[in-house]
Amino acid sequence: DGGITQSPKYLFRKEGQNVTLSCEQNLNHDAMYWYRQDPGQGLRLIYYSQIVNDFQKGDIAEGYSVSREKKESFPLTVTSAQKNPTAFYLCASTALGGLAFRADTQYFGPGTRLTVL
C-alpha cells in the first residue's frame, strides 16, 4: 500500500541532544513537508521541499534542520538549539505539477511524538 511512514512513533530526548525523525513516502510525490503540532496552536510549518536537494524554511525553522537527498525521504533533525522541542511532529507530501496542482491533496503520516526529558 502507498503511504507515508514516520518513525519512531514516540521519541524521548535528553537536554542538549540532537535527534532525527524519519519520514518516508512511496507515493512518488514531489513535495514534502514537516509540521509541528502543539495543543491549542494547530499545525505550524517547519520546512518544506519541492524537489530533491532543495528545501525552504517555514514559519518556525529555527532549531531544526532537514535534508532531501532522495525523493522518497525527508528526515527532520531537532537540534539542541530548539529550546522547546516537546511536540507532535507530522510529515506530509503532495504531488506537484499540472493544471490541477493547487487542488492536490496533502497526505499525512501518523506522526512522531517527541518528549524532552
* Interaction site with another protein (CB under 8 A): 4, 6, 31, 33, 35, 40-45, 48, 50, 56, 58, 90, 92, 94, 96, 100-111
Give the nearer residue to another protein in terms of CB position, either 3 or 70.
3
Instruction: Give the Å distances, CA to CA, from 15 to 19, 78, 86, 88.
Output: 11, 11, 11, 17
Give the nearer residue to another protein in terms of CB position, either 79 or 107.
107
Give the nearer residue to another protein in terms of CB position, either 10 or 83.
10
Do residues 33 and 89 touch, judged by C-beta distance below 8 A?
Answer: no
In the complex, the smallest distance separating the C-beta of residue 33 from another protein, rounded to whole angstroms, is 6
In the complex, the smallest distance separating the C-beta of residue 24 from another protein, rounded to whole angstroms, is 14
Phi/psi for 45 (5° steps) reads -80, 130
Query: How far is residue 86 CA from its own chain's centroid?
Result: 15
